Every structure is written in C-alpha cells, then in structure tokens.
Amino acid sequence: MIFFDPAAVYLSVATSPDGIVNQALLFHEGLHGYTGHSDSDILTDFSFNGINDPSCDITDYLELKIWGGTIETCQ
C-alpha cells in the first residue's frame, strides 16, 4: 500500500517536466511495492550513490535515466 500527498502529484501532460516527475515518482513507489526494498536498498540495487535524500535521489535517477527528464525533484 502506498500513500501520496495529493499536493505532490502534478496534473500535467505526461511529457511536461512535471509530468515526467509524476511518472518517475509513481515508478519509484511501485518499486517499493514490487521489491519490498527501502530507499537505501533501491539506491544500492541501482549502483547509484545519491547526494540528497535517498527518496529524492531515486526519483531523480529514474527521471533522468528512464524518462530523459532533468533532475528537478529535490531542487
């Protein structure tokens, strides 16, 4: 089960910067449900050394590597 703050979900076109963040965030949360892993475990699975909050780093990684967006989540 995953909970979201409604204010954190953008009502935007999927290809807009905010829409890309939404997709990365939803995929990130889905990874928790699918793998049962914590944020730190997922970062390790990706072999990604985060620099911010682990949760933000995962979403940033997905946003950049999968959807080709820019890293905007935690800035």
pLDDT by residue (tens digit) across 14-36? 778 778 888 888 899 899 989 99
* Amino acid at position 37, single letter: H
Residue 4 lies in a domain: no
Task: Specify the 3-state DSSP secondary structure of 33.
Answer: helix
Query: What DSSP designation does 6 have?
Result: G
Question: What angle (nearest 5°) sits at the alpha carbon of residue 49, between those of residues 46 and 50?
Answer: 105
What is the C-alpha separation between 70 and 63, in angstroms, rounded? 7
**Rounded mean pLDDT of the chain?**
81
* pTM of the predicted model as reported, rounded to 2 decimal places: 0.76
The structural domain count of the chain equals 1
Residue 70 lies in a domain: no
The domain of 26 spans 16-65
18 vs 73, more confident: 18
The dihedral over CA atoms of 44, 36, 12, 53, expressed in degrees to the nearest 10, equals -40
Residue 5 lies in a domain: no
Region 1-6: what's the mean pLDDT? 68
Residue 1 lies in a domain: no
Query: What DSSP designation does 47 have?
Result: T
